[in-house]
Structure 1
Amino acid sequence: MRVAIAIVALVLGSIAFHLLSPWWQTPLASNWQSIDSALHITLLICAFAFIFLNLFLAVALIRFRHRQGSRAHFSPENPSLEKHLTFWTAVGIVGMLAPGLAAWAKFVDVPPDAAVVEAIGQQWQWTFRYPGPDGVLGTAGVGYMTPDNPFGVNPLDPFGRDDVLIEGNELHLPLGKPVKMVLRSKDVLHDFYVPQFRARMDLVPGIVTYFWLKPTRTGKYEILCAELCGVGHHAMRGTVIVEQQKDFDAWLARQANFTQIMAQTSPEGVAAMFAKANLCTRPAAWGIR
């Protein structure tokens, strides 16, 4: 009896904690309501299973508790029960998977009019790259990296000459415009995550990953690395500022592009960039374009 009471108390306490907890989702600031919906459906299905199974266990403990002179009925097989359990378990699993798969299908289907922004992760900071007036990011790769070219932009690629390079941890995005986030890592696994955007994706060394979003609310949000990437993982944070298009354009116009940075680099540094580029036997494997 005491165990049954403890189980009921656990169920009621869990429900109360969920309903009264101050730790809940941040306000949504992107188009990914479908990710929230998938999470809510999963929580509802799991909550139903948790409440039903635990209350059933409590009732069974009370109803079938030990009584003097009574014996349990031995039933090694129950095909009907097994069929019902299999069916309803399958329904629950499909109910949890289907909304997530529907959201994922949209997650990787980038709109044709989406702008492109590249986020680069390294221990333990973020840097960003925007295409210039041509709207195309130049090729980039670890083979092109030098002390004066930490982004690894290919100096022989004309599409990269006007790329805007942001060495700080601050990312700016225009409100209401779809953006394809191209992600690459210089060293280990990282994960680009803004809780208010819901969308997130790993940065995998050697390959390019991506996702897209459309910011729907202006404001300043924190960028987190959601993949354990070393002793400084906790400090790998940045800021994304969602602003009106005119403010975004004004900010972008003040940033330096790759050509301007090369102009400020010593002749030896520029020569090292081109020497690295000429040594590369093939285009960068990251496939930015």
Structure 2
Amino acid sequence: MKIVVLLLLIAIGSVLFHLASPWYWTPIASNWEYIDHTITITFWITGVVFTLIVLFVAYCVYRYRYKPGQQAHYEPENRKLEGWLTLVTAIGVIAMLAPGLIVWHQFITVPKDASAFEVVGQQWQWSYRYPGKDGKLGAADNKHITDDNPLGLIAEDPNGKDDVIIQGDDLKLPLGRPVKVLMRSIDVLHDFYVPEFRSKMDMIPGMVTYFWFTPTRTGTFDVLCAELCGQGHAYMRSKVVVVPAEEFHAWLDRQPTFAQLRQNEAAKIRQAAK
């Protein structure tokens, strides 16, 4: 009986903990409420199955407990029971996977009017790059990384000369405008993650990964690395600041371009050589 009571307490306690738990999602700040819905569906399906299994085990322990003179019935197989279990399991798996596949398709189908920016991860800091007046990001390659070109932009590409590079500062985004996030890693696996945006993606060396979202409220949010990337992983943090579109564009216009940064760096080298 002790085991039965313990199993009942586990089932009831798990449900109450989930319903009354103070640890839940941060308030959403993007268009990806679909991800919240998908996770909720998964919680309900797995929670119901878990509770039913625990209660069934408790019932079996009580119903078929040891009694003097009682002999167990041996039944090697039951095709009807196996068929029902297979069907119910398949329905449960489909119910969990289908919403995720639908959301994933939306997650990587970028709207035509989305503007793009780049996130570059390296141990242990974030860098950002915006397109300039031409609206195009220049080509980049890790082989071109130098002290005066920390993100490896290809200098011969005219599209990159007016790109805006942000290092050691906040990422700023316009409110209510869809943005495509292009992600690149310089060294090891990283993962760009803003909990309030519900969107994240691994950053794989040698590849450019992407997703999109639309910021839906202004504010300052933490940027985290969601992939264990070395000793300084916990300190790989930044901020993303969502501001009205007019304020964002005014801020972006004040930032130096890649060409200007290289000119300033060259001037410093010439000055030091004198």
Bin for the TM-score computed over the shorter chain: over 0.9
Aligned ranges for residues 125-164 of structure 1 at < 5 Å?
125-164=125-164
Kept in 2, the 8 Å contact 1:180–1:212? The answer is: yes
The 2-side partners of 1:157 and 1:64 are apart by 76
Amino acid at match of 1:129: R
Q: CA deviation at 1:169?
A: 4.0
TM-score with structure 2 length normalisation? 0.96
Q: CA deviation at 1:268?
A: 9.2
- 1:85-141 Cα offsets, whole Å, 9 max, x none, are 000000000010000000000111111110001000000000000000100000111
The match for 2:51 is 51
Q: How many residues in Structure 1 have an aligned counterpart in Structure 2?
A: 270
Q: Unpaired segments of 5 or more residues in structure 1?
A: 271-289
TM-score with structure 1 length normalisation? 0.91
Three-state SS of the structure 1 residue aligned to 2:187 is: coil
- Is the aligned partner of 1:253 residue 2:253? yes
Kept in 2, the 8 Å contact 1:125–1:169? The answer is: no
The match for 1:218 is 218
The match for 1:207 is 207
Amino acid at match of 1:201: M
Amino acid at match of 2:180: K
The match for 2:36 is 36
Q: Unpaired segments of 5 or more residues in structure 2?
A: none
The match for 1:175 is 175
Three-state SS of the structure 1 residue aligned to 2:173 is: strand
Kept in 2, the 8 Å contact 1:169–1:237? The answer is: no
Amino acid at match of 2:210: Y
The match for 1:190 is 190
Q: CA deviation at 1:21?
A: 1.2
Amino acid at match of 1:163: D
Amino acid at match of 1:10: I
- 1:154-210 Cα offsets, whole Å, 9 max, x none, are 111110010011012411110110000000011000000000111100110011000
Identity %: 50
Kept in 2, the 8 Å contact 1:148–1:269? The answer is: no
Q: CA deviation at 1:42?
A: 0.5
The 1-side partners of 2:167 and 2:246 are apart by 22
**Structure 1: which 4+ aligned runs deviate by more than 4 Å?**
267-270
